[in-house]
Amino acid sequence: MAVITYRQALHDTLREEMLADENVFLIGEEIGVFEGSYKITAGLLDEFGEKRVRDTPIAEEGFVGAAVGAAMLGLRPVVELMTINFSLLALDQIVNHAAKIYGMFGGQSNAPMVLRTPGGGGQQLGATHSQNIELYYAFVPGLKVVAPSTPADAKALLKASMADNDPVLFLENLALYNTKGEVPDEVAPAEIGKAGIVRPGSDITIIGYSRMANVATQVADKLQQDEGISAEVVDLRSLRPLDRETVVESVRKTGCAVIAEDDWLTYGIGAEIAASISDGAFDYLDAPVRRVAAAEVPLPYAKPLERAALPSAESLTTAVHQTLEAVGHRR
């Protein structure tokens, strides 16, 4: 078992899968000569050559669509979209084409491809470069959307995504690339559509994904240590399909829930989770479900403003305390 970064886990998985299957190729802006904006693809051009590590012009719709067409003929493209913000230029090809090929033609063709893309704020990149718009994709049947939070999960989910015969949006987060974690020598592909209980507990359920799943775990550990509060943390891992069962089962056990999400509150992922809890655990709830989400503003550049706008360990801790107070929880 080695301790490696999230970045390294992604890199290693791409490399291993490229070695295993020559139909796998990488395509995106600056992934070859420049070695990737976030260096996930470092060294791969040298090792695999231009055919399999393909630098593209700045033409998101063109190259994402070309990947869809190549996938229709049986290649297995892994697209790097520099950040999720730029995926909007390719929205037509992702939503109107990749997601529809299998259903619209009665199962005669499909688009086995992975769209890797980082999202998230906190790097002082301003409003157009700091978004969490995974919801746009998680809304669409025909797409799968996964969001790993740890290096081990990154590896397991990327393997699963690359083996999958559907288009998978693989959500990374700029804040996670340098995080470290234990990764077993042999990692089995994850099961797409399954959430994980990353930390069992009995007093309250905290639900998160990507960066916020990690924040939730830190908060839960600290609450246990400092106050003896036992929080269960559910990491969604997959936003579509969504594992409502795991969420609802946990809330039936604990009787209350806080959802931690990096996206915007109104209509966000948390809204869907809260509705699911209402559908499946209404009678078990001892307090209203709370959501901790980003402030609904175009994310400002100035550091204190940006910090204020994003959910954090502190804001999540506050929400957990308030919920437990409402429940009448005694330490």
Partner 1 sequence: MAETATRSKPTSSGSKSRRGGARSSGNRAQQTQEKAALGSESPEQLRDYFKQMSLIRRFEERAAQGYTQAKVGGYCHLNLGEEATVVGLMSSLYNSDYLFTNYREHGYAIAKGIDPNRVMAELYGRTTGTSKGLGGSMHMFDTDVGLLGGYGIVGGQIPLATGAALAIDYRGDNQVVMCQMGDGTTNIGAFHESMNIAALWNLPVVFVVINNYLGMGTTVDMASAESELYKRAVAYRMHGERVDGNDVLAVSEASGRLVEHARKTGEPAMLEAVSHRMKGHSVVDPAKYRSSEDAQAARAADPVAAFRDQLISAGVLDEDGASEIEQTVQADVDAAVAFADDSPHPDPSNLFDYTYATPVANDSRRLPADPVF
Residues that bind partner 1 (CB under 8 A): 25, 51, 56-57, 59, 61-75, 92-93, 96-97, 101-110, 112, 141-142, 144, 163-166, 191-194, 238, 241-245, 248, 275-276, 279-280
Residue 271 neighbours by CB under 8 Å, 6+ apart: 265, 291
Q: Phi first, then psi: what are they for 197, rounded to 5°?
A: -90, 105
For the bound state, the minimum distance from the C-beta of residue 5 to partner 1, rounded and expressed in Å, comes to 28
| Token pair for 311 | 């959910």
Point out the catalytic residue in the list 17, 29, 60, 261.
60
Tell me the C-alpha distance between 248 and 73, whole Å.
40
CA–CA separation, 284 vs 66, rounded Å? Answer: 49
Among 80, 129, 134, 232, the active-site one is: 129
Q: How far is the CB of 281 from partner 1 (least distance, A)?
A: 8
Which residue, 247 or 319, is less far from partner 1 as judged by CB? 247
Active-site residue, 11 included: no
Closest approach, Cβ 246 to partner 1, in A, equals 9
How is residue 5 written in tokens? 């970064």
Tokens linked to 232 = 């269960």
Q: Cβ of residue 73: shortest distance to partner 1, in angstroms?
A: 4
If you write DSSP's letter for every residue of 263-311 in order, what string do you get?
EESTTSHHHHHHHHHHHHHGGG-SS--EEEEE-SSPPPSSHHHHHHHS-
CB 32 within 8 A of CB 55: yes
**Closest approach of Cβ 285 to partner 1, in Å?**
13
Strands of 114-119's sheet in order across: 53-55, 24-28, 76-80, 114-119, 168-173, 144-146, 238-240
Given a contact cutoff of 8 angstroms between Cβ atoms, the answer to whether 150 and 211 are in contact is no
Strands across the sheet containing 290-294: 196-199, 231-235, 204-208, 257-264, 290-294
Q: Is 60 a catalytic residue?
A: yes
> Which residue lies nearer to partner 1 by CB, 196 or 311?
196
Amino acid at 292: V
Q: Is 46 left (phi over 0), alpha (psi -120 to 50) or beta?
A: alpha
Residue number with CB closer to partner 1 (115 or 176): 115
The nearest distance, CB 209 to partner 1, in angstroms, is 14
Q: Which is nearer to partner 1, 3 or 275 (CB)?
A: 275
Q: Which residues are catalytic?
A: 60, 129
